């Protein structure tokens, strides 16, 4: 027989804000890094063409197809840059507003590209950059969704098990505290078998 759920004594414990707080701090730091990288007056790859060419040569020697050149490398880098951003945004927004993460990421990328096109003469806006950033941000958000589902499912099982064990222990303690009732009629005499 399963133990009935007993009411929990006292007030409910306060919610922990450690996840949102730490993710918010990391998000501000990473947003500052992304802003410094994307709002730099000159392209980040200027002066590094030789190193990039050598890096691509290493990739090609290790099985990467020859068609994978600088444009594909830049596209992949733009994807990778926004994965942490989408991940952190997904951690910060509440569950009921989770869809906002899928709006914030492409909007942020679009704003960056517009600012580059308007104010940075040596940088240029690109729809492909917005596409790559959006893909990276969505990957980060998807990782958060998977982690949240896994962690919340695990936590529900842990809480349910703890409540069940607590209630079973309380019911056993209540049963042990109640003394057994004596039989009011007393012991019954044994039936006689020696009839005359």
Tokens encoding 71: 């444009």
Most confident range, picked from 93-97, 132-136, 181-185, 192-196: 132-136
Confidence at residue 3, expressed as pLDDT on a 0 to 100 scale: 46
The pLDDT confidence band at residue 194, using thresholds 50, 70 and 90, is low
Domain locations in the chain as residue ranges: 18-152
CB 60 within 8 A of CB 66: yes
Place of tokens 């200027």: 46
pLDDT in tens, 49-69: 899 999 999 999 999 999 999
Q: What is the pTM of this model?
A: 0.74
Confidence at residue 2, expressed as pLDDT on a 0 to 100 scale: 46
In whole angstroms, what is the distance from residue 34 CA to residue 19 CA?
A: 22
The pLDDT confidence band at residue 188, using thresholds 50, 70 and 90, is low
Buried b (16+ CB within 10 A) or exposed e, 83-98: bbbbbbbbbbbeeeee
């Amino acid at each position: 027989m399963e133990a009935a759920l007993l009411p929990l004594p006292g007030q409910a414990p306060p919610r922990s804000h450690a996840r949102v707080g730490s993710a918010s701090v990391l998000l501000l730091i990473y947003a500052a890094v992304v802003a410094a990288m994307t709002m730099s007056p000159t392209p980040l790859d200027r002066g590094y063409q030789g190193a990039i060419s050598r890096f691509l040569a290493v990739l090609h020697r290790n099985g990467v197809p020859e068609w994978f050149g600088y444009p594909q490398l830049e596209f992949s880098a733009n994807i990778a840059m926004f994965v942490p951003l989408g991940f952190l945004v997904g951690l910060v927004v509440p569950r009921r507003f989770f869809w906002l993460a899928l709006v914030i990421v492409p909007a942020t990328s679009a704003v960056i590209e517009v600012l580059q096109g308007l104010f940075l003469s040596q940088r240029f806006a690109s729809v492909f950059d917005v596409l790559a950033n959006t893909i990276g941000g969505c990957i980060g958000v998807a990782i958060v969704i998977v982690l949240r589902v896994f962690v919340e499912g695990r936590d529900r099982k842990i809480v349910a098990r703890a409540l069940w064990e607590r209630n079973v222990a309380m019911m056993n303690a209540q049963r042990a505290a109640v003394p057994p009732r004596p039989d009011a009629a007393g012991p019954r005499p044994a039936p006689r078998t020696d009839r005359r």
